């Protein structure tokens, strides 16, 4: 279930964060380029990965300044300001020490934070992270200035509708899953406006932590897929050779996203790093079934989870039933099909948000579990005889 979103101040900026789980140690997830902590829970694979971490930790999520639900900025944010954001979130959640789990661009600030605040850092877990993002002879895996400029142009020209061909390179295992690719494009747009995305992309070129690697003392776990084309495994080897107390683990696969593909070995390494105990595969897949699923209240589960963008088959699993049993029980309780009920409930929630909040139409669309704004507007008009923007105008 999506946790409650809270805000804390980092200087003059409002930083959005969430807390889930009650484990004995804290893990702070530091995402890459852009993020949106609300929309993370709309992707079942990502939601499942994050939830799995809460079996052995208290998980803290946040959107860095300039992204997602946090305040936007028109300027480059410095690494010092980025570290201030982490400190602010730790203070707000009463987290004295934490493991930092970072992805891609989030790795650099994690490494720097551990050097500046070792008393607050239990360890670093970095998936597909890098030391710098500008080509040099001693770091030939980073893009050249010419390649970065091509990427900048792609962001300027394609951010509004999402260049799916480019995004597919990030996750080859799901390149032909149009539903997932639509969510990924929507997630990135919800994480940053075109201007914000371009600022962050250009800022990324300035990142260089190569000189500090030898000074990092906290335990460091580096996780890389061998076929990742976005961040090369050679970059992981470069970092591992220079951080004294580090461990590099290389996995099969090509996805740059940690929550897609085979996630067991990644989560197993993380759990062992944090707890000292490694789950075997059967324990890993059965961990969610420790509490008997028989007797799960279907009505309660659906009422609490209908906003999530899950397939009917996935709702059935959530309710601990086969698909046929789920549809039968659902019909008996609600006297309609799951798809019709879910759509109706989401539209009712959208109507409430239109009246009670100032969220724009796209934000309401995604918050209510829709992944396509055109479909959302059409469905809303069919149910309430008015498009969302006109309905809001008439009610206010």
Here the CATH number for the domain that contains residue 379 is 1.10.10.60
Is residue 377 scored above 80 in pLDDT?
yes
Question: Is the domain of 102 the same as that of 158?
Answer: yes
Helix boundaries (H) for 117-193: 145-158, 164-168, 178-191
Q: Is 195 left (phi over 0), alpha (psi -120 to 50) or beta?
A: alpha
323-334 helix and 298-305 helix, angle to the nearest 10 degrees: 90
pLDDT at residue 302, as a whole number: 86
Local confidence band at 192 (pLDDT 50, 70, 90 cut-offs): confident
Whether 82 and 223 map to the same domain: the answer is: yes
Residues 339 and 307 in one domain: yes
Give 346-361 pLDDT, tens digit per residue: 999 999 889 888 888 9
For 68-119, write each residue's pLDDT tens digit.
Answer: 999 988 777 888 999 999 999 999 999 999 999 999 999 999 999 999 999 9
Residue 387, phi then psi, degrees to nearest 5: -70, 160
Please check whether residue 262 is in contact with residue 287, taking contact to mean a CB–CB distance below 8 angstroms. Answer: no
Q: Please give the residue range of the domain that contains residue 148.
A: 6-284
In a domain, 1, yes or no: no
In the predicted structure, residue 396 carries a pLDDT above the cut 60? yes
- State mean pLDDT over 358-385: 88
Q: Is there a single domain that holds both residue 272 and residue 131? A: yes
Query: 3-state DSSP: the chain helix, strand, coil percent, rounded to 5?
Result: 50, 15, 35
Last residue of a domain, one of 231, 250, 284: 284
Q: Pairing mode, if any, of strands 246-251 and 6-10?
A: unpaired
Q: 222: which strand partners?
A: 126, 248
| Residue where the block lists tokens 């390149």 | 175
| Mean pLDDT across 307-312 | 78
Lowest mean pLDDT among 39-53, 238-252, 320-334: 320-334
Residues 307 and 257 in one domain: no
Is 157 in the same domain as 210? yes
Measured distance CA(307)–CA(393) in Å, rounded: 24
Q: Based on the domain organization, do 305 and 276 belong to the same domain? A: no
Q: Taking 60 as the threshold, does the pLDDT of residue 293 lie above it?
A: no
**329 confidence band (pLDDT: 50, 70, 90):** confident
Q: Give pLDDT, residue 286.
A: 59
Residues 255 and 314 in one domain: no
Q: Residue 289: inside a domain, yes or no?
A: no
pTM score, whole prediction: 0.73
Query: CA–CA separation, 268 vs 99, rounded Å?
Result: 15
The answer to whether residue 26 is domain-embedded is yes
Distance CA 110, CA 387 (A): 45
Residue 292 has pLDDT above 50, yes or no: no
Boundary residue ending a domain (244, 261, 284) = 284
| Inter-residue contact 86 to 113 (CB < 8 Å) | yes
110 with 40, same domain: the answer is yes
pLDDT tens-digit readout, 205-221: 888 999 999 999 999 99
d(CA 170, CA 60) in angstroms, rounded, equals 25
Q: Would you state the structure tokens that stand for residue 375, as one six-digit string?
A: 């479909």
Number of separate domains in the chain:
2
Strand 220-225, strand 13-20: pairing? unpaired
The 10 Å Cβ neighbour count of residue 12 is 8
Together in a domain, 79 and 173: yes
- Domain-embedded: residue 99: yes
Per-residue pLDDT for 7 more than 70? yes
Q: What's the order of all strands across the beta sheet hosting 13-20?
A: 6-10, 13-20, 58-62, 26-30, 98-103, 121-127, 220-225, 246-251
126 in helix, strand or coil?
Answer: strand
CATH code: domain of residue 50: 3.40.50.1820
Examine the domain organization and report whether 234 and 300 are in the same domain.
no
pLDDT digits 0-9 by tens, 37-57: 999 998 889 998 999 999 999
- Give me the pLDDT at residue 250, please: 97
Domain contains 204: yes
In a domain, 97, yes or no: yes
Average pLDDT along the chain: 88
For residues 135 and 212, state if they share a domain: yes
Residues 6+ apart with CB under 8 A from 334: 299, 341
Q: Is 161 exposed, middle or buried (0-12, 13-18, 19+ CB in 10 A)?
A: exposed
List CB contacts of 145: < 8 A, sequence separation 6 or more: 134, 135, 205
Which of these three, 284, 306, 334, is where a domain ends?
A: 284
Q: Write the DSSP symbol of residue 164.
A: H
- Winning range, highest mean pLDDT, from 35-49, 141-155, 213-227, 375-389: 213-227
Instruction: Name the pLDDT band for 294 (thresholds 50, 70, 90).
Output: very low
Residue 51: inside a domain: yes
Q: What is the DSSP string of 198-259?
A: HHHHHHHTT-B-GGGGGG--S-EEEEEETT-SSS-HHHHHHHHHHSTTEEEEEES---SSTT
Query: Is residue 208 a part of any domain in this protein?
Result: yes
């Amino acid at each position: 279930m999506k946790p409650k979103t809270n805000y804390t101040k980092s200087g003059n900026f409002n930083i959005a964060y969430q807390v889930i789980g009650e484990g004995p140690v804290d893990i702070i997830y530091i995402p890459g380029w852009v993020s949106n902590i609300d929309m993370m829970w709309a992707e079942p694979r990502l939601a499942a990965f994050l939830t799995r971490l809460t079996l052995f930790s208290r998980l803290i999520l946040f959107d860095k300044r300039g992204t997602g639900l946090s305040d936007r900025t028109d300027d480059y944010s410095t690494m010092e300001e980025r570290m201030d954001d982490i400190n602010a979130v730790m203070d707000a959640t009463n987290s004295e020490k934490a493991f930092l789990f970072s992805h891609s661009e989030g790795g650099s600030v994690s490494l720097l934070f551990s050097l500046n605040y070792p008393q607050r850092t239990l360890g670093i877990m970095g998936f597909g992270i890098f030391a710098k993002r500008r080509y040099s002879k001693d770091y030939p895996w980073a893009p050249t200035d010419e390649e970065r400029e091509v990427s900048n142009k792609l962001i300027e020209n394609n951010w509004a509708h999402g260049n799916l061909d480019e995004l597919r390179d990030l996750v080859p295992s799901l390149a032909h899953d149009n539903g997932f690719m639509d969510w990924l494009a929507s997630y990135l747009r919800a994480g940053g406006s075109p201007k914000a995305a371009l600022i962050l992309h250009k800022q990324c070129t300035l990142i260089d932590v190569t000189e500090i690697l030898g000074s990092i003392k906290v335990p460091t776990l580096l996780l890389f897929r061998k076929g990742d084309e976005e961040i090369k495994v050679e970059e992981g080897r470069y970092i591992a050779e220079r951080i004294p107390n580090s461990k590099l683990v290389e996995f099969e696969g090509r996805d740059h996203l940690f929550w897609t593909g085979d996630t067991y070995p990644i989560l197993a390494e993380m759990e062992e790093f944090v707890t000292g105990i490694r789950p075997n595969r059967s324990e890993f897949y059965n961990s969610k079934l420790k509490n008997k699923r028989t007797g799960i209240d279907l009505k309660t589960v659906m009422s609490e989870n209908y906003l999530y963008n899950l397939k009917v088959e996935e709702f059935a699993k959530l309710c601990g039933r086969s698909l046929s049993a789920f549809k039968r029980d659902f019909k008996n309780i609600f006297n309609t099909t799951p798809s019709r009920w879910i759509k109706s409930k989401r539209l009712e929630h959208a109507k409430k948000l239109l009246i009670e909040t100032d969220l724009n139409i796209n934000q309401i669309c995604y918050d209510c579990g829709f992944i396509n704004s055109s479909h959302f507007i059409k469905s809303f008009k069919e149910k309430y005889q008015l498009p969302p923007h006109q309905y809001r105008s008439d009610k206010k």
